[in-house]
Chains A and B, each alone.
Chain A
Amino acid sequence: MVAAILELLFDDCFLTVPDEKRIGNKNMKRLLVYMKGYEKECILGPLFKLLEAGFDLTVPVVTAAIIDYGIANRDRDYIIRYGGMLVLLAIVGLACSITAQYFAAKAAVGFAARLRHALFAHVESLSFAEIDQVGTSTLITRMTSDINQVQSGVNMALRLFLRSPFIVFGAMVCAFFYDVKAALVFVVVIPLLALVIFGIMGVSMPLYKKVQGALDKVLGSTRENLTGVRVIRAFHREKEEEEEFCAENDFLAKSQLFVGKISALTNPVTYVMINLALVALLWIGGVRIDAGTLSQGQIIALINYLSQILVELVKLANTIVLSNKALACANRIESVMEIQSSLEISMEREDGLQEEGGKGQVVFDNVSMRYQGALEPSLEGVTFTAEKGQTIGIIGGTGSGKSTLVHLIPRFYDVSEGCVKVDGKDVRSYGLEELRSKIGIVMQKAVLFKGTIRDNLLWGNENASEEELREALELSQSMEFVEKKENGIQSFVEQGGRNLSGGQRQRLTIARALVRKPEILIFDDSTSALDYATDAKLRSGLKSLSYSPTIFMVSQRTSSIRHADQIIVLEDGEVIGIGKHDELLKNCQVYKEIHQSQYQDEKERKEA
């Protein structure tokens, strides 16, 4: 009996630490919605588990009977009958517990699948502002490992949360049936054990958090050392780096040893307590047997109950640690679910309003934009009008707000002040899908998806004809390399477009935008990966488009935008110049500087 306790206590579950201590019942409740439809499983699972526990509690009773009647009366039939009952109990117990496991697994897995679906759908509905804030990698963790944690937490909770307390109290109740005085041992030892187990857990858990922090430091140092290897070696700082690492490493070991000493107390202390309780039980048992109120078989049953209690208390403690962890994950998931898309707040639809200026007109009316949590606005007081078919160049240094400006047109973000109008209507009065279907955007980062080149192009317009796809490829200067591929347009693109070069990827993303034949075409600093000749061909091609879209061209190079109808010069989020190339050269100092930094030698070259 005691060895069983010993083994169980070695369980290393104590080493796992929940990230957050608070048990957020309120938050969990909202996630429980996804449990709907699994009520049956949630009730039946624990119920069968309780049945099994009931059988477990019956075993000592049967054993006691065998000893007190079977052996005492030398009754072979009785022994066989009751022995058979033990086997039967084992079989029924097995059946019950397998049933319970099935229901628990079904509910947990089903819950997790629904939660994943809901979370994915929710995240997809979030706007850029929210995603920027939370971070993509965090969202991915929530959707994968956090949900997995919750799944196993639910699975375990359904199986163990009722069972363990049930056995602990059941054993105590059974003890009362046998002998009230002997049962008092249980009454004393159970709370004491619980106190010790949970007390040590309570003390060591925050310490484990510190250990985790120390480990993170060690990890950080290692990573830093590797990423900075050239600089570190150039400045021959290897020794100092090593000293620093050793200090952190030693600190980690020290904190591990410290917390280890405390949590190493759990096993011995509980062992000593439960067995001293055994000693007390035997003494009281001796007195009661001497008085004739207790039998030998019954004292053996009581001993058996005592050992069951410790086993279950330890299990319960582990269950709590694990579910704490799962709850922390659930809370994190919940906090993502709670994020509202800031774009949901739409304005009244202005269906009745006349579209002024024709399709493709974009108006910025005193627009300011401040990212959430940012101190300074990224755009301030931007006002201009882009007429249909015009090309608008946008230029400025890094961080001047160029991308922010164009991201407001498809409403990736909302303005903080002023308004952006497309076709004469505030972008906030459109349905998102309706608005974005008017726009083709080529991002700075050339992103392609797993699938064929054709699949990727069809993102722009599902119903595009082969002819239209060809046109887009031609115009984006992609045809030459697509044709060279074995399967042409049906060639496979690996995830992230790994099997294509940066320039090829970029050209395909341009083609994707062109397939859409949008009213508004946006290039977000996306032509810098193209060499000059391609860039020039692309630009002249764009001019000849039959549907003459309004084009926004963000760039760092004056050469890419010098022929634009309007050039907007941004600095620190403010428009400091607007006009044509030649005008700006005359009256915009910053534009002149940018131009000169790229062309300072153009004159020189001409002279040469």
Chain B
Amino acid sequence: MKSQKETIRKILVYIRHYWWLILGSLFCAAVSVVFTLYLPILTGYAVDVMIERGRVDFVVLKELLIKMAVIILITGAAQWLMNVANNRITYLVVRDIRRDAFHKLQKLPLKYLDVHPSGDLVSRIIADVDQFADGLLMGFTQAFTGILTILGTLIFMLRMNVWITLVVVLVTPLSFFVAAFIAKKTHVMFQRQSEARGEQTGLIDEMIGNQQVVQAYGHEKKALQRFDEVNKRLEGYSLRATFFSSITNPATRFVNNLVYAGVGISGAFFAIHGRLSVGTLSCFLSYANQYTKPFNEISGVITELQNAVTCAGRVFELMEEQEEIEDAVTGGKIENATGAMEIEHVDFSYVPEKPLIQDLNLSVKPGQRVAIVGPTGCGKTTIINLIMRFYDVNRGAIKMDGKDIRSLSRENLRSQYGMVLQETWLKDGTVLENILFGRKDAAREEAIEAAKLSHAHSFIKRLPQGYDTIVKENGENLSQGQRQLLSITRVILCKPSILILDEATSSIDTRTEMQIQSAFQKLMEGRTSFIVAHRLSTIQSADIILVMKDGQIIEQGSHKELLAKKGFYANLYMSQFAG
């Protein structure tokens, strides 16, 4: 509850910017509700001046009708302004929230992003915010006008006749009971329906998703049998859920009709005694006709609003996650790093309970090639994460050119590196835009020069629009190797001091790799480089090979030295070529 209040407070902070729109919207809503309710009264007056043949007061009628016309036009205008204002508030608030949420994403540490599935984060920023917008819009348009309508109707009715009002007020709650009763009953059925649906979707997912295997093993008939079994159950649950929930409308309409009949009968009796005019009765009847509607709608709005608050809560939760520690630039700026790196007594773990790297020490001289090998999960990529400062060390320090990397701005630090990862991420955009990603000020000629160096130029040339070919999001128009060449080109253009290759070629076949290899060789010339690889053949020319196991560096040395040592590395190496 408290967190809900907290969420509402945060929503209000966003809405506050648009206070003048809200005031305007509320004012228009009030005008439109009051006039809307006033109209039946005027209609009643009009009916009252037309009694029977020869007894119609045309002077008064004309006056009334002109008044009505004016009121109608004002109401229409007020309604439109209110709608426009509500749209504005909603969509602008949503825009602001999305903008801030996205900004937040840029600030979140990888510690957070790595463990939260990106689908979940996307759904918070898109789907949840959308849901929130729907709720907010509905809340604005319906909740306020609904409450106002109920109160206004009550006041207008009480002024006309207390007893008939009482009839209305007494019968109306029936419809809530009916609606609540049905909702409660159907809830269980909806739950069963969605369970069965879930089960069925799972089955579809499994069978259709792996149709190759299903067909290869001739399992189609069996799959269909299982499908039918679930389908039958789903049909049963679905029928009950659909039917019972669809009773709500007729049932509340029924209660409404009862109210109508009650008003008709009691009004008629009052009319007989001359205590109510026929026009007033007609006014009552039209009130009775719709008195329950705002109630039903408000209950709908409440669920919707609750939903909206929950969704907003999920977005705000994201927006309040701890951000990366601000840059504390105490070490000045490195213009062009020499490439010397020191790792001193570093401890690090992703989760406190599972220590990973302990007391890691390493000294890299400018221009050296450092290769990191070891079995999966031993912490190879973790070292990259640390030197890039995607994560901060728990203890010890990492130094670049003698400066603790935490004393540099992240931008300054990272601009010294050029990084190529196994996952070749390219942006939606042209080939050229992707190459210029790291240095957007570079000229087209420079990009082409870099592409020639990386051997990417020859395939780019052959693309339909050359350097202006659009790279599709999932990269279907480029092969894995081509994508990798583009990310290498991207790095070449930046002319970084230090190179980081994290499994950069492991998803490419070995022959293509050999071709890319020469691009790498050129890239590495004169640069300090860190190479993570599982294929040992790619790292033999390194100056230092770090052999990692369980977060520790267990062996260190050149390829020849390590082989001579006949230790873990030698074993690893031999096993690859045994037989």
Tell me which of A227, A286, A594 contacts B56 (CB under 8 A). Answer: A286
- Contact mask for chain A residues 101-122; partner B; CB cutoff 8 A; 1 contact, 0 none: 1101110111011001100110
Residues of A with C-beta under 8 A to B239 = 105-106, 109-110
CB closest chain-A residue, reference B409: A236
* Smallest CB separation, A107 vs chain B (Å): 10
Tell me which of B265, B285, B480 contacts A79 (CB under 8 A). Answer: B265
B155 interfacial by beta-carbon distance below 8 Å: no
Interchain CA distance A52-B257 in the complex, whole Å: 12
Residues of A with C-beta under 8 A to B217 = 436, 459-460, 512, 516
Residues of A with C-beta under 8 A to B33 = 3
Contact flag A93-B246 (CB < 8 Å), given A1-B290, A83-B265, A236-B415 = no
Interchain CA distance A289-B440 in the complex, whole Å: 81
Interchain CA distance A465-B484 in the complex, whole Å: 49
- Contact mask for chain B residues 248-291; partner A; CB cutoff 8 A; 1 contact, 0 none: 01110110011011001100110110000010011001110110
A173 interfacial by beta-carbon distance below 8 Å: no
Residues of B with C-beta under 8 A to A600 = 537
Segment among B95-103, B455-463, B547-555 that sits at the interface with chain A: B95-103
Tell me which of A131, A143, A230 contacts B211 (CB under 8 A). Answer: A131
Do residues B414 and A235 form an inter-chain contact, with CB atoms below 8 A?
yes
Residues of B with C-beta under 8 A to A351 = none
Tell me which of A80, A124, A303 contacts B265 (CB under 8 A). Answer: A80
Tell me which of B72, B264, B287, B514 contacts A271 (CB under 8 A). Answer: B72
Interchain CA distance A235-B495 in the complex, whole Å: 12
Do residues A267 and B83 form an inter-chain contact, with CB atoms below 8 A?
yes
Tell me which of B50, B121, B428 contacts A296 (CB under 8 A). Answer: B50
Do residues A143 and B473 form an inter-chain contact, with CB atoms below 8 A?
no
Residues of A with C-beta under 8 A to B352 = none
Do residues A136 and B257 form an inter-chain contact, with CB atoms below 8 A?
no
Do residues B201 and A224 form an inter-chain contact, with CB atoms below 8 A?
no
Residues of A with C-beta under 8 A to B278 = 67, 71, 296-297, 300
Do residues B50 and A290 form an inter-chain contact, with CB atoms below 8 A?
yes
- For chain B, the count of residues having a C-beta within 8 Å of the partner chain is 163
Do residues A257 and B88 form an inter-chain contact, with CB atoms below 8 A?
yes
Q: Which of B43, B269, B514 has the most CB of A within 10 A?
A: B43
Segment among B157-165, B361-369, B399-407, B417-425 that sits at the interface with chain A: B417-425
Do residues A264 and B80 form an inter-chain contact, with CB atoms below 8 A?
yes
Do residues B427 and A143 form an inter-chain contact, with CB atoms below 8 A?
no
Interchain CA distance A296-B75 in the complex, whole Å: 27
Do residues B289 and A4 form an inter-chain contact, with CB atoms below 8 A?
yes
Do residues A225 and B216 form an inter-chain contact, with CB atoms below 8 A?
no
Do residues A230 and B73 form an inter-chain contact, with CB atoms below 8 A?
no
A314 interfacial by beta-carbon distance below 8 Å: no
Interchain CA distance A512-B72 in the complex, whole Å: 76
Do residues B272 and A71 form an inter-chain contact, with CB atoms below 8 A?
yes
* Smallest CB separation, B279 vs chain A (Å): 8
Interchain CA distance A559-B577 in the complex, whole Å: 8
Do residues B53 and A292 form an inter-chain contact, with CB atoms below 8 A?
yes
Interchain CA distance A8-B264 in the complex, whole Å: 24
Do residues B293 and A4 form an inter-chain contact, with CB atoms below 8 A?
yes
Residues of A with C-beta under 8 A to B52 = 289, 292, 295-296
Do residues B204 and A272 form an inter-chain contact, with CB atoms below 8 A?
no
A316 interfacial by beta-carbon distance below 8 Å: no
Do residues A155 and B224 form an inter-chain contact, with CB atoms below 8 A?
no
- Contact mask for chain A residues 246-287; partner B; CB cutoff 8 A; 1 contact, 0 none: 100110110011001100110111011001101100110111
Do residues A105 and B258 form an inter-chain contact, with CB atoms below 8 A?
no
Tell me which of B69, B110, B218 contacts A279 (CB under 8 A). Answer: B69
Do residues A234 and B47 form an inter-chain contact, with CB atoms below 8 A?
no
Residues of A with C-beta under 8 A to B235 = 109-110, 112-113
A536 interfacial by beta-carbon distance below 8 Å: yes
Interchain CA distance A278-B480 in the complex, whole Å: 70
Residues of B with C-beta under 8 A to A265 = 80
CB closest chain-B residue, reference A225: B105
Residues of A with C-beta under 8 A to B512 = 397-398
* Dominant SS among interface residues on chain B: helix
Residues of B with C-beta under 8 A to A159 = 246
Residues of A with C-beta under 8 A to B202 = 450, 495
CB closest chain-A residue, reference B75: A271
Do residues A140 and B205 form an inter-chain contact, with CB atoms below 8 A?
yes
Residues of A with C-beta under 8 A to B485 = none
Interchain CA distance A307-B39 in the complex, whole Å: 13
B175 interfacial by beta-carbon distance below 8 Å: no
Contact flag A223-B92 (CB < 8 Å), given A289-B53, A436-B215 = no
Interchain CA distance A397-B482 in the complex, whole Å: 13
* Smallest CB separation, A430 vs chain B (Å): 12
Tell me which of A15, A86, A117, A299 contacts B261 (CB under 8 A). Answer: A86
Interchain CA distance A98-B578 in the complex, whole Å: 77
Interchain CA distance A136-B204 in the complex, whole Å: 10
A443 interfacial by beta-carbon distance below 8 Å: yes
CB closest chain-B residue, reference A104: B246
Do residues B285 and A290 form an inter-chain contact, with CB atoms below 8 A?
no
Tell me which of B54, B254, B490, B579 contacts A93 (CB under 8 A). Answer: B254
Do residues A76 and B269 form an inter-chain contact, with CB atoms below 8 A?
yes
Do residues A136 and B208 form an inter-chain contact, with CB atoms below 8 A?
yes
* Smallest CB separation, B306 vs chain A (Å): 17
Tell me which of B76, B242, B510 contacts A598 (CB under 8 A). Answer: B510
Segment among B133-141, B308-316, B446-454 that sits at the interface with chain A: B133-141
Interchain CA distance A410-B216 in the complex, whole Å: 7
Tell me which of A12, A223, A226, A593 contacts B137 (CB under 8 A). Answer: A12
* Smallest CB separation, A146 vs chain B (Å): 12
Interchain CA distance A120-B227 in the complex, whole Å: 8
Do residues A250 and B95 form an inter-chain contact, with CB atoms below 8 A?
yes
- Contact mask for chain A residues 298-313; partner B; CB cutoff 8 A; 1 contact, 0 none: 0110011001000000
CB closest chain-B residue, reference A52: B250
Tell me which of A93, A234, A245 contacts B388 (CB under 8 A). Answer: A234
Tell me which of B83, B142, B211 contacts A124 (CB under 8 A). Answer: B211
The 5 closest A-B pairs by CB, nearest first: A292-B53, A264-B83, A4-B290, A83-B265, A90-B257
Extra inter-chain contacts (18) besides given A292-B53, A597-B514, CB under 8 Å: A76-B269, A97-B253, A110-B239, A123-B208, A124-B207, A131-B211, A219-B122, A222-B102, A229-B110, A230-B388, A233-B388, A265-B80, A267-B80, A272-B72, A296-B47, A299-B47, A398-B480, A495-B202
7 A-B pairs with CB atoms under 8 Å apart are A71-B281, A86-B264, A131-B211, A229-B113, A260-B84, A296-B47, A597-B537
